[in-house]
Amino acid sequence: MGILYAKDLLHALAEGATDAGIFEFRRDPLFVPEVMRIAELFDIMKGGRVHMAIVVDEYGGTAGLVTLEDLLEEIVGEIQDEYDEETPPIKQEGEDTFLVEGQVNLEDLGDVLGDSFHAEDVDTVAGLALSLAGEFPEEGQTFRYGAWDLEVLGVEEHRVKLLRLRHRLEEQKSEEEGR
């Protein structure tokens, strides 16, 4: 068994080794126990210039595969690369509905939606949802903010990841008529 890096093959092809078998370019895999700490594995991978490791369970079976990118994402959060489809942080879903990532800045949201969004001591849409809930919101909860309904669509480890904002036009019209 072994790991084959595309960069090794490309390097060999560039040097004219077109008749070589792929077995010549395989690398021995790094096997690690599933109880190993992230920081320790990161140091091992960085020191050995290894980009992936096979995770082994207590019975000696394969529990999974972890890459250097996986470790970095655990430490610093999601990393966009050329293989990830980039989704806009604010996406129009319908005429009056928008899907909004929790980390969108309230000022930026207001600029895009043409409305004012602000709350004391919070800067993001997730912070606004937390402020309105008064606790950690759960998926499916909906909150009213001015002429908007904020529905929590995604929560991950107490982080509000995704919301649906729906503009209540009828309420805005009645507010304008009452002025």
Bridge partners, 145 (sequence order): 148
Token pair of 76 as six digits = 């610093």
Lowest-pLDDT range of 26-30, 67-71, 77-81, 99-103 = 77-81
63 & 133 share domain: no
pLDDT tier, 179 (very low <50, low <70, confident <90, very high otherwise):
very low
DSSP state, residue 30: P
Q: Is 96 helix (H, G, I), strand (E, B) or coil?
A: coil
Could you tell me if 71 and 101 lie in one domain? Answer: no
Average pLDDT rounded to a whole number, residues 130-153: 93
In a domain, 62, yes or no: yes
Using alpha carbons, select from 35, 39, 81 the residue that is nearest to residue 59: 35
Element (H, E) at 176: helix 169-177
Token pair listed for 80: 């966009």
Rounded to 5°, the CA angle 71-75-76 comes to 115
CATH number at 129 reads 3.30.465.10
Q: How many domains does the chain have?
A: 2
Residues 73-84 pLDDT 10s: 777 766 666 665
Are 95 and 160 contained in the same domain?
Answer: yes
In a shared domain, residues 50 and 25: yes
Q: The domain containing residue 37 runs over which residues?
A: 6-76
Q: Let me know if residue 81 belongs to a domain.
A: no
Q: What is the pTM of this model?
A: 0.51
Structure token digits, residue 167:
């503009």
Q: What is the pLDDT of residues 6-54, one digit of tens each?
A: 888 888 888 887 787 888 888 899 999 999 998 899 999 999 888 899 9
